């Protein structure tokens, strides 16, 4: 049953697959290598402001991947991923009093994010569709409210010392080095996610998104699978929290705000199912909010709101189909 | 003081909870009907409350005229806002996620404009001078406005119940909540009902903003707070159910006042547990959810 179900669902959801037939085979790896080279060379090319902006964009890209695991694979739109990011960030801040080692903070934050997600997931995976969105939103805001009361530092937040990338290296204070550390961690997390989306587990998640009763009839437990996906996504979000500590050296309950969850979800939707697309969407939205918003006298929220409206009204599924068709015709 | 003093302190807090709960009900009743009838989870619902609260701050003086004027403008603003939201989500029928994005975008833009016009600091709104004082209840002083608010809230609840459960309009609305397809097949204009409910919900939210401004004053971020609390009321009460919304709103009001007084910090925990139990108990009926 599963063997007949999985290839078809895999082929329909993956939007990149048809492009590979038309575009020369060498172009994708070449474009990837070019983008990577540009990303690594960035600290030597642009000023400090853009580098810290880029580091923020990378943190949001990781959070967007976390949202994409849920909405892109399992078809469940989450609006509370910032809560798991905050749990990770506070964990990393607590670990930072013991050790400044970035990787240790990263792993601890990911674990804490996963545990928090496993707990809130018990609530969330009972719902589907818009109700799932409402429940994750509610849970996220409750964590937001709880953080200002319970978390260390209260609503003032906590400042942390600079992170050390590897044992023996000095603490990172220059934005260029922090950016490169965040870039390396993002690539590692991206690799882990790339492995995940190629597993049978991911195919089962796509199966749930396409037709849940059929997956259930095949003897699987959709709710357990979704809880596992939710936990995994929470772990990625927690890791994003550790990276956000590395960038800003500061965590406050404001990190759990709905604005951050909404940005992650919108980035995942811009990516329409693909992880690379989600990262690109996050970079685009951070650029709109922080860079273009800064040019427009701090009206980032208005700009972000316009982005959301644009995203809602543009027929993006039809646009994606059109692009694919055009690419085919040219070949 | 003694034991009696403690009892009275908690009774006073519980009374505050009733006022809070009634305010939440008036806001959440609109949201739950909008979700039940139109299937729209309007992220701009808290924005409408905030618009009303800023209206009260801008227009209210210490006489009755300011409040009356604010209420009149609130009805117009609410109707316009609701109609605008209805027009905004109409092209997005059957795309609930896009409806969320669109209303969220509107909420973002509105919040930015609010802080541009009214500033980033919280504003306090005083009730009219006639009801500004306080009366003594036992050993305690209680604001008159809040008692008046409870009275008006009860009237609004009774009015809403009559409208939804007794009137012909309510019967049409309930029919569309229960089975939109069958309602359309019997000749009801479901599109008009959807627009009407969005307008009604808008009027309720903005009016609640004007009346509630002395209780929950206008400040940036209040829109999200109100949205979350009314969302919890909707989920706990069962989406589309007006009776459930009333019980849930009174419960949430107590959790936010008495709960905070009895066990500081536990309020969010209590609300999360309430949401979990609501989802566990009723997952097969009211909360089946709509396909994304």
**Cβ pair A135:B235 closer than 8 A:** yes
Q: How far are the Cα atoms of A91, A101, A113, B145 from residue A95, in angstroms, in the given order?
A: 6, 9, 14, 49
**Residue A187 buriedness (CB in 10 A; 0-12 / 13-18 / 19+):** middle
The DSSP letter of residue A163 is P
Average pLDDT, chain B: 84
Residues B243-271 have a mean pLDDT of 82
Greatest alpha-carbon span in chain B: 65
- Which candidate in B109, B248, B269 is best for mutational testing of the A interface (most A CBs within 10 A)? B109
pLDDT of B134 over the 60 cut: yes
Instruction: Write out chain B residues lying below 8 Å of A76, CB-based.
Output: 292
Q: How far are the Cα atoms of A326, B10, B197, B251, B257 from residue B246, in angstroms, in the given order?
A: 54, 22, 18, 9, 17
Q: What are phi and psi of B143, to 5 degrees?
A: -60, 135
Q: How confident is residue A126, by pLDDT bands cut at 50, 70 and 90? A: confident
Residues B112-127 have a mean pLDDT of 87
The string over A284-309, giving b where at least 16 C-beta atoms fall within 10 Å of a residue's C-beta and e elsewhere, is: bbbbbbbeebeeeeebbbbbbbebbb
- Closest CA in chain A for residue B97: A130
Q: Is residue B292 part of a domain?
A: no
pLDDT per position as a tens digit, A46-97: 888 889 899 999 999 999 999 999 999 998 999 989 999 999 999 999 998 8
Rounded to whole angstroms, the Cα distance separating A3 from A9 reads 11
**CATH code of B142's domain:** 1.10.3470
**Cβ pair B102:A305 closer than 8 A:** no
Q: How confident is residue B274, by pLDDT bands cut at 50, 70 and 90? A: confident
- Closest CA in chain A for residue B234: A134
C-beta of residue A279 within 8 angstroms of C-beta of residue B69 = no
User: What percentage of chain A reaches a pLDDT higher than 90?
Assistant: 33
Q: What pLDDT, on the 0 to 100 scale, is given for residue A5?
A: 37
Q: Which of A127, A142, A301 sits opposite B268 (nearest CB)?
A: A142
Residues B81-92 have a mean pLDDT of 91
pLDDT of B256 over the 80 cut: yes
pLDDT per position as a tens digit, B157-186: 999 999 988 999 889 988 888 888 888 899
Q: Is residue B119 part of a domain?
A: yes
The DSSP letter of residue A70 is I
Q: Is residue B72 part of a domain?
A: yes
pLDDT of B288 over the 60 cut: no
Element (H, E) at A158: strand A158-159
Which stretch of A188-197, B90-99, B129-138, B234-243 has the lowest confidence by average pLDDT?
B129-138
- Which candidate in B101, B284, B286 is best for mutational testing of the A interface (most A CBs within 10 A)? B101
Q: Is residue B31 part of a domain?
A: yes
Range of the domain at B88: 3-287
Q: Which of B108, B109, B289 sits opposite A132 (nearest CB)?
A: B289
3-state secondary structure at position B136: strand
Q: Is residue B18 part of a domain?
A: yes
Location of structure tokens 């260029």 = A176
Q: Locate A249 and state its tokens.
A: 């050296």
pLDDT per position as a tens digit, B177-220: 888 888 889 988 888 898 999 999 999 999 999 999 888 889 98
The nearest CA of chain A is from the CA of B52 a distance in Å of 20
Q: Is residue B224 part of a domain?
A: yes
Rounded to whole angstroms, the Cα distance separating B29 from B200 reads 10
Alpha helices in chain A (DSSP H): 2-13, 17-22, 27-45, 48-68, 81-96, 102-124, 129-150, 175-196, 200-217, 222-248, 258-270, 275-286, 293-295, 300-313, 316-330
C-beta of residue B26 within 8 angstroms of C-beta of residue B153 = yes
Q: What pLDDT, on the 0 to 100 scale, is given for residue B179?
A: 84
Give percent helix, percent strand, percent coil of chain B, each to the nearest 5.
Answer: 75, 5, 20
Domain count, chain B: 1
Ordered DSSP codes for A121-133: HHHHTT--HHHHH
* CA triple B81-B17-B28, angle to 5 deg: 25
Rounded to whole angstroms, the Cα distance separating A230 from A212 reads 16
3-state secondary structure A247-276: HHCEECHHHHCHHHHHHHHHHHHHCCCCHH
Q: Which residues pair with B140 in a beta bridge?
A: B137
Q: What's the distance, CA B76 to chain centroid? A: 17
């Amino acid at each position: 049953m599963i063997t007949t179900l999985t290839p078809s669902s895999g082929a329909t959801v993956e939007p990149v697959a048809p492009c590979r037939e038309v575009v020369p085979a060498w172009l994708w790896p070449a474009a990837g290598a070019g983008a990577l080279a540009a990303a690594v060379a960035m600290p030597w090319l642009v000023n400090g402001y853009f580098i810290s902006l880029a580091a923020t964009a990378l943190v949001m890209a990781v959070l967007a991947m976390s949202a994409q695991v849920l909405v892109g694979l399992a078809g469940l739109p989450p609006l509370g991923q910032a809560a798991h990011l905050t749990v990770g960030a506070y964990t990393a801040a607590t670990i930072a009093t013991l050790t400044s080692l970035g990787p240790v903070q990263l792993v601890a934050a990911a674990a804490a994010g996963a545990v928090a997600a496993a707990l809130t997931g018990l609530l969330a995976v009972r719902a589907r569709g818009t109700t799932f969105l409402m429940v994750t939103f509610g849970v996220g805001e409750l964590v937001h409210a709880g953080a200002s009361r319970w978390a260390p530092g209260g609503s003032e937040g906590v400042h942390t010392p600079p992170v050390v990338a590897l044992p023996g290296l000095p603490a990172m204070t220059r934005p260029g080095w922090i950016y490169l550390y965040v870039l390396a961690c993002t690539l590692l997390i991206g690799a882990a996610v790339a492995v995940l989306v190629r597993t049978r587990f991911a195919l089962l998640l796509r199966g749930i998104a396409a037709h849940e009763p059929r997956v259930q009839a095949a003897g699987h437990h959709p709710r357990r699978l979704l809880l596992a996906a939710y936990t995994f996504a929470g772990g990625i979000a927690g890791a994003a929290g550790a990276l956000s500590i590395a960038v800003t050296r500061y965590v406050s309950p404001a990190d759990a705000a709905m604005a951050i969850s909404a940005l992650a979800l919108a980035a995942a939707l811009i990516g329409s199912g693909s992880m690379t697309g989600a990262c690109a969407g996050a970079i685009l939205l951070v650029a709109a909010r922080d860079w273009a918003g800064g040019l427009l006298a701090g009206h980032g929220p208005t700009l972000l709101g316009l982005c959301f409206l644009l995203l809602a009204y543009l027929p993006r599924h039809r646009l994606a189909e059109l692009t694919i068709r055009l690419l085919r015709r040219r070949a | 003081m003694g034991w009696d003093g403690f009892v009275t302190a908690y009774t006073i807090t519980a009374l505050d909870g009733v006022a809070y709960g009634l305010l939440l009900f008036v806001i959440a009743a609109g949201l739950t009907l909008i979700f039940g009838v139109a299937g729209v989870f309007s992220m701009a619902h808290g924005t409408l409350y905030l618009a009303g609260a800023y209206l009260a701050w801008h227009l209210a003086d210490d006489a009755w005229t300011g409040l009356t004027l604010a209420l009149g403008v609130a009805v117009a603003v609410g109707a316009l806002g609701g109609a605008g939201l209805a027009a905004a989500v109409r092209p997005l029928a059957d795309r609930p996620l896009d409806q969320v994005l669109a209303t969220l975008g509107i909420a973002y833009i509105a919040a930015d404009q609010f802080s541009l016009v009214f500033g980033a600091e919280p504003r306090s709104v005083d009730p009219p001078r006639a009801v500004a004082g306080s009366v003594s209840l036992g050993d305690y002083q209680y604001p008159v406005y809040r008692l008046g608010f409870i009275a008006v809230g009860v009237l609004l609840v009774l009015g809403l119940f009559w409208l939804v459960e007794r009137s012909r309009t309510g019967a049409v609305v309930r029919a569309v909540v229960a089975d939109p397809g069958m309602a359309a097949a019997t000749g009801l204009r479901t599109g008009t009902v959807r627009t009407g409910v969005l307008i009604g919900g808008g009027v309720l939210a903005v009016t609640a903003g004007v009346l509630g401004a002395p209780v929950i004053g206008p400040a940036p971020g209040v829109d999200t707070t109100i949205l979350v609390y009314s969302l919890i009321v909707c989920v706990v009460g069962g989406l589309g159910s007006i009776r459930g919304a009333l019980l849930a709103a009174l419960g949430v009001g107590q959790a936010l006042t008495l709960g905070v007084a009895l066990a500081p910090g536990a309020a969010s925990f209590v609300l999360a547990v309430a949401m979990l139990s609501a989802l566990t108990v009723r997952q097969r009926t009211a909360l089946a959810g709509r396909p994304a």
